[in-house]
Amino acid sequence: MNNMLRIAPQAFVLALTAAIPCAAQRSSFMTTLGKDTLSFEQYERTGDQIVGDWVTLYGGIMVHHYDIQLGPDGAVRRYQLTLHRLSGAVNGKVDMQFGADSVVVRNERGEEERVALSGVMPTFASSIALLDLIVSRARRTHSDSSVTPVVGAFGPYRRGGMPVVFLGRDSALLGNPRAPLHARFDAGGHIVALSARSTTTRSETRRVPPHDLMAAVAHFPNIPDSVPILGAPSISPRDTVRATIGGASVTIDYGRPAARGRDVFANGVLGDSVWRTGANAATQFTTTRDLLVGGDTLRAGAYSLWTRVAPGGSRYTLVFNSQTGQWGTEHHSERDVLSVPLARASLGAPMERFTIRLPSSSSGGELRLEWVTTALVVPIRAMP
């Protein structure tokens, strides 16, 4: 990516240790994806107030500045969040006040909305400050498993739930049980690391020494205020490959993740048993005529494209599914229409970003999934 600094995260950690003196209740975190740094977060707690910044570095630098006011019971009484560029230009703002039976929300235009909600905590993406408060509240239930009532900072303003499952005193699973965040705690019960290895993000967050946050951010390239910040999807940009095979027009639309120093085939494909064959939204495959894929018939139409991975990455199977248009974690195996084995081959030169190719002639060719030093290949040709 043009706006992500390709430097080992360890180099940042070493640089941060020589930064400004540590405040008594300051917490600092860095989030990485492979060898790339995605974001920093730093906040300071003084009594019943927490003030901090979460700065994301992908798709353009955005500063998420927040001010949290707590009640005597540790519940959030007010949450103010402003999203702004390095120039100070505001891209979003919300002010949430939590009462006994309602939440009052005000946006940057001064518009006010009152929502009948009680006992909820605000959430915003994976901000550590809020997650740490949610964990603290869950711990007070004295239960190994609980669901904390939550509401999103930018809506929809309705009651949700954040499951928290403690795995002892030093760790817990947070959020969606099917794809939870893995949190580790220090002796005081506060988050020191957060792993998204079970989610589609697969990022890793860890506590780092307190530092001059904006000085660290200054190492990263930025984009002009006139250019929209794309956010997380920009990490794996969308691409389309097209080919004509024996009169059939074939199109594949997919997201292109980068390896970023990760051994993507060490355990399947980034640990998946069924991979979306790309990133973000499900990969889409369309053909205007019937095809023979690996010797089996695929009827003309539109499909989502999946890769089934055997344990340990011992073999790979390409799967065509009749559902289309879904997010890439939504796979219903009962809608699979064709599964064909993929042959494994070596690439002559490493390929950093995942690439699908359709080299073809007038009668046939191959469908190739290429990444790092590996190609997964299946023959494809038009029906006679």
What is the reported pLDDT for 296? 96
23, 151: one domain: yes
What is the reported pLDDT for 198? 87
What is the reported pLDDT for 21? 44
Q: What tokens were used for 86?
A: 């390095």
Q: Which DSSP category does 327 fall into?
A: B
Distances (CA, A) of 162 to 100, 135, 173, 279, 296: 20, 10, 10, 25, 45
55, 201: one domain: yes
280, 186: one domain: no
What is the reported pLDDT for 231? 73
Backbone angles phi, psi at 7, to 5 degrees: -145, 140
User: How many structural domains is the chain composed of?
Assistant: 2
- DSSP characters over 200-248: SS--EEEE-----HHHHHTTS----TTSPP--GGGGS-EEEEEEEETTE
pTM of the predicted structure, to 2 decimals: 0.85
209, 301: one domain: no
Residue 2 forms part of a structural domain: no
193, 132: one domain: yes
What is the reported pLDDT for 15? 45
Contacts of 156 (CB under 8 A, 6+ apart): none
Residue 279 forms part of a structural domain: yes
What is the reported pLDDT for 124? 95
The residue range of the domain holding 21 is 9-217
Q: What is the pLDDT of residues 238-282, one digit of tens each?
A: 999 999 998 899 999 999 999 999 999 887 888 889 999 999 999
- Last residue of one domain, picked from the residues 217, 250, 281: 217
246, 206: one domain: no
Q: What is the pLDDT of residues 305-346, one digit of tens each?
A: 999 999 888 999 999 999 999 999 899 999 999 999 999 999
Which parts of the chain register pLDDT below 70? 1-24, 233
248, 348: one domain: yes
